Amino acid sequence: MWLSINEKDNRPIYLQIINQVKEQVGNGTLKPGAELPSVRELAQSLGINLHTVRSAYLKLRDQGIIELRLGRKARIAHLPAPLNRRDAETRLKQSIKELVTEAQLTGLSRERLHRLIDQQMDVKKEE
Amino acid sequence: MWLSINEKDNRPIYLQIINQVKEQVGNGTLKPGAELPSVRELAQSLGINLHTVRSAYLKLRDQGIIELRLGRKARIAHLPAPLNRRDAETRLKQSIKELVTEAQLTGLSRERLHRLIDQQMDVKKEE
Amino acid sequence: MWLSINEKDNRPIYLQIINQVKEQVGNGTLKPGAELPSVRELAQSLGINLHTVRSAYLKLRDQGIIELRLGRKARIAHLPAPLNRRDAETRLKQSIKELVTEAQLTGLSRERLHRLIDQQMDVKKEE
Amino acid sequence: MWLSINEKDNRPIYLQIINQVKEQVGNGTLKPGAELPSVRELAQSLGINLHTVRSAYLKLRDQGIIELRLGRKARIAHLPAPLNRRDAETRLKQSIKELVTEAQLTGLSRERLHRLIDQQMDVKKEE
DNA sequence: GTGGTCTAGACCACA
DNA sequence: GTGGTCTAGACCACG
């Protein structure tokens, strides 16, 4: 199975699911139209409650990542949401601000930060 | 006053305070030994609850950013805590992973991402 | 073929079928006595489940729009059911209430709303 | 209390709540910044479950109608979402299409339809 | 106090 | 089978 939850991670379970699905859509592991496991299947295989999976799927739907239809399995959306681009970039800037702050407090150099980012982007390409 | 809370920002108020203090320490606006406003002052000037400010200060202390002593004002710590460097970098990598994922879902190019980071680092230098 | 399902439309498939039949009856494209495709034909040509088409036809029959007879093809009913007029108008008022609410929240002017409605009514006339 | 649920109404409870809040925002009964009852309060006064109210509030938040903050009461948002105007108008057109169809099947004249809409808009103004 | 997350189990509507 | 709605009750995080 291509999803897992980390008990030690502070973040809520539903967010971990969301992020993992997003990663796999972002790097092409999950292609538009691909079916996701049903909420019941995924809940059972992760050992968590059906509703926890459902809340993750709902948020993914609201963000335009997946499509949910009554009676059908969830699928990766065909239009990977290039829509509210300006909003998204505004949010990204906020994340970048915090990232840079943390990097500076840690004493991480500008070069190292750029290198870590390139590494992460390349990992994704190859997967 | 050098602190403000943004109602439109979804993040909890105490986190906004923490992040702003961290930013100013990170970019040198707040230097080691500098005094912070008392819990009461800050709470009143921001129009928020005492508990909220206090919990922010406590977390900043736990992270080694500030020093709290009974009866004294809070001060920026003299050792900006570059100790647990490996832990910090691990956490940073997690943040980078999510940032890169979001950037890819938004369709942001690698170049633009690097440029946005440089911008943020330069903004801080000049402040 | 004069029917299609829209994957991007959130509404259930059976409802899309019902609404399209209703539209074509409403604007005269489908006249009383006209034959509809069999459940099997329609299901196959739309690539959907038999049950889905069947439930749509059943509901259309219940609303008096079509006639179903064992072994015969479905046909548009001869009495376009203007009977329960008061009920229908009550339901319409509810729809209007919601439409007006959404229009106001969107900032749509009264004039523009009227124009959009006229457009829709005229489109149908010409078809 | 300014909210009620209708047992006979087929629509889900959470949608009834959403629509009533939207109406009151649309006609000015609820002004930006106004506090809504807490999920627990509203659930109790309506005799329904806390989570049902919560799901209504969540959707209202996602639509930009209200603001939710941990530890605070829900409030009417200050920017009543004039943002994705084109999307909203597209959705409105779909609603109009269905409304016109129903009106035609009922035999409602164009004039009567316009009059019903004006009535509804005026009701809201006076409230 | 507030909302946020998670579990648990029921029943309904759609395909 | 699928997802959608509702109830019920626990515990956590924020103000």
- B94, part of any domain: yes
Boundaries of domain holding A107: 85-126
Residues A61 and A94 in one domain: no
Work out if D40's Cβ lies within 7 angstroms of strand F.
Answer: no
Name the nearest CA neighbour of D105 among C95, C103, C115, C35.
C95
Residues C61 and C89 in one domain: no
Residues A58 and A110 in one domain: no
Pairing of strands D75-76, B75-76: unpaired
Q: How far apart are CA B108 and CA A82, in angstroms?
A: 10
- C96, part of any domain: yes
Residue type, D29: T
D-chain residues near C80 (CB < 8 A) = 105
Residue nearest to nucleotide F8 (CA to C1'): D49
- D44, part of any domain: yes
CA D80 to chain centre: 13
Under an 8 A CB cutoff, do B105 and A22 touch? yes
Per DSSP, the three-state class of B95 is: helix
- Tens of pLDDT, residue by residue over A96-120, are 999 999 998 888 899 999 999 999 9
Residues D26 and D51 in one domain: yes
Q: Structurally, how many domains does chain B consist of?
A: 2
State the pLDDT at residue B39. Answer: 92
Work out if C49's Cβ lies within 7 angstroms of strand E.
Answer: yes
Per-residue pLDDT, averaged over D11-18, amounts to 96
Residues B111 and B94 in one domain: yes
pLDDT at A86 over 70: yes
What is the domain-level CATH number for residue C63?
Answer: 1.10.10.10
pLDDT at C114 over 70: yes
Asked if D40 and D50 touch (Cβ cutoff 8 Å), the reply is: yes
Residues C22 and C53 in one domain: yes
What average pLDDT does the structure give for chain C?
87
- D2, part of any domain: no
Indicate the range of A71-80, C14-23, D47-56, D82-91 predicted with least confidence. D82-91
- D6, part of any domain: no
Residues D71 and D20 in one domain: yes
* Predicted TM-score of the model (pTM): 0.90
pLDDT at C41 over 70: yes
State the pLDDT at residue D126. Answer: 59
Asked if D56 and D66 touch (Cβ cutoff 8 Å), the reply is: no
Under an 8 A CB cutoff, do A104 and B95 touch? no
- D30, part of any domain: yes
State the pLDDT at residue D83. Answer: 57
Residues A65 and A101 in one domain: no
Residues C98 and C47 in one domain: no
DSSP-assigned letter for residue C84? S
The gap between A17 CA and E4 C1' (Å) is 17
- C5, part of any domain: no
Per DSSP, the three-state class of B76 is: strand
State the pLDDT at residue C126. Answer: 57
A-chain residues near C47 (CB < 8 A) = none
Per-residue pLDDT, averaged over C79-97, amounts to 77
Report the percentage of chain A scoring pLDDT > 90. 69
When mean pLDDT is compared over C46-60, D85-99, D112-126, the highest value belongs to C46-60
Residues B72 and B96 in one domain: no
Q: How far apart are CA D96 and CA D91, in angstroms?
A: 9
pLDDT at D110 over 80: yes
Query: Which residue is listed with tokens 């879902």?
Result: B105
From A67, A70, A78, residue closest to C12, measured CB to CB? A70
- Tens of pLDDT, residue by residue over A11-27, are 999 999 999 999 999 88
Residues B68 and B91 in one domain: no
Which stretches of chain B score pLDDT less than 70? 1, 79-84, 124-127
Structure tokens at D97: 């299409």
When mean pLDDT is compared over A121-125, B46-50, D25-29, the highest value belongs to B46-50
Q: How far apart are CA B106 and CA B115, in angstroms?
A: 16
Query: How distant is the Cα of A68 from the closest Cα of chain B, in angstroms?
Result: 19
pLDDT at D70 over 90: yes
Residues C19 and C49 in one domain: yes
Per DSSP, the three-state class of B5 is: coil
